[in-house]
């Protein structure tokens, strides 16, 4: 598992670094970013995995969210992977649509050709990337997961499916019920086929219905988000959580939209939330 450093910048006493490596899960070269707080010089630190949304790369969150100051204060590493496989041989949407193909991996394991050779983002995020991070950087096996929009969907699905691997889950504006949202229906039909039973494992609402282990979850959703009612539908999650008594905290934020201005406004609260569940 070799990695190549491609950038390095000091930030709040710690270091933001970018790397590339050959991914076995995705059959292509991948890039990720990591922020290491000052504390990582002396001892391993817990790590938050951040999953970004449609069209994003590893750069959007690290450059726009303003998370480094609080991560440095809390002694927390942050890892931001890309949102899909990349490369000349990797399939893309025929019409170059933003919501399918490159930049739109939906954090699942595709089973339908031509996507199934490369689009194994679930395996990459759950298994390959953490193994790489833990082998090369001073981090512990304490992990949290968070994300935005498509990445919020990914964080919920991956966290709920692997409660033994993550101490907490958070999300901004997640696609909460993709089986009933246009973005999700389009992606799932292409990546997984038309059998909706195969979609259930990647739908946070379906997973929450079955959840036994209770991993703490916090969600922030802007009330002025133009995608709120058509694509995101957080109330579906709220209704299921209330029926089960699951520890889900959905915070509706007046006036906020779907942008990184929204994320930057509340990211420090999310980092503090995750820090509560990391063991000393």
- For 141-178, how does the pLDDT look when each residue is reduced to its tens digit (9 = 90+)? 999 999 999 999 999 999 999 999 999 999 999 999 99
pLDDT in tens, 206-230: 999 999 889 999 999 999 999 999 9
What are the structure tokens assigned to 105, written together?
């991996």
149 classed as catalytic: yes
CB 47 within 8 A of CB 79: yes
pLDDT tens per residue across span 60-108: 999 999 999 999 999 999 999 999 999 999 999 999 999 999 999 999 9
User: Is residue 225 annotated as a catalytic residue, yes or no?
Assistant: yes
pTM for the model: 0.97
Give the model's confidence band at 275: pLDDT under 50 very low, under 70 low, under 90 confident, else very high: very high
Active-site residue identified among 225, 236, 270, 274: 225
Which numeric CATH code is attached to 3-276? 3.40.50.1820
Domain ranges of the chain: 3-276
Contact 178, 153 (CB under 8 A): yes
Of 52, 149, 173, 236, the active-site residue reads: 149
Active-site hit among 16, 258, 270, 274: 258
Catalytic-residue membership of 127: no
């Amino acid at each position: 598992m070799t990695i190549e450093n491609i950038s390095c910048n000091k930030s709040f006493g710690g270091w933001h670094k970018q790397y590339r490596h050959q991914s076995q899960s995705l059959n292509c070269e991948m890039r990720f970013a990591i922020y290491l707080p000052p504390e990582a010089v002396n001892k391993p630190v817990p790590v938050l995995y951040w999953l970004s949304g449609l069209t994003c790369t590893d750069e959007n969150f690290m450059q726009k969210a303003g998370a480094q100051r609080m991560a440095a204060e809390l002694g927390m590493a942050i890892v931001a992977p890309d949102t899909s496989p990349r490369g000349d041989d990797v399939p893309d949407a025929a019409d170059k649509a933003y919501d399918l193909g490159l930049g739109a991996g939906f954090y699942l394991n595709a089973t339908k050709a031509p996507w199934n050779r490369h689009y194994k983002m679930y395996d990459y995020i759950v298994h390959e990337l953490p193994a790489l991070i833990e082998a090369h950087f001073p981090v512990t096996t304490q992990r949290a997961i968070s994300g935005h929009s498509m990445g919020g969907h990914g964080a919920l699905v991956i966290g709920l499916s692997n409660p033994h691997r993550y101490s907490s889950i958070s999300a901004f504006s997640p696609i909460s019920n993709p089986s009933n949202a246009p973005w999700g229906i389009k992606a799932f039909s292409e990546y997984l086929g038309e059998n909706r039973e195969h979609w259930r494992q990647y739908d946070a609402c379906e997973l929450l219905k079955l959840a036994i282990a209770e991993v703490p979850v916090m969600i922030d959703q802007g009330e002025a988000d133009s995608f709120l009612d058509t694509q995101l539908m957080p109330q579906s999650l709220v209704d299921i959580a209330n029926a089960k008594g699951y520890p889900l905290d959905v915070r509706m934020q007046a006036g906020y939209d779907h942008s990184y201005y929204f994320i930057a406004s509340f990211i420090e609260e999310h980092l503090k939330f995750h820090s509560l569940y990391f063991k000393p």
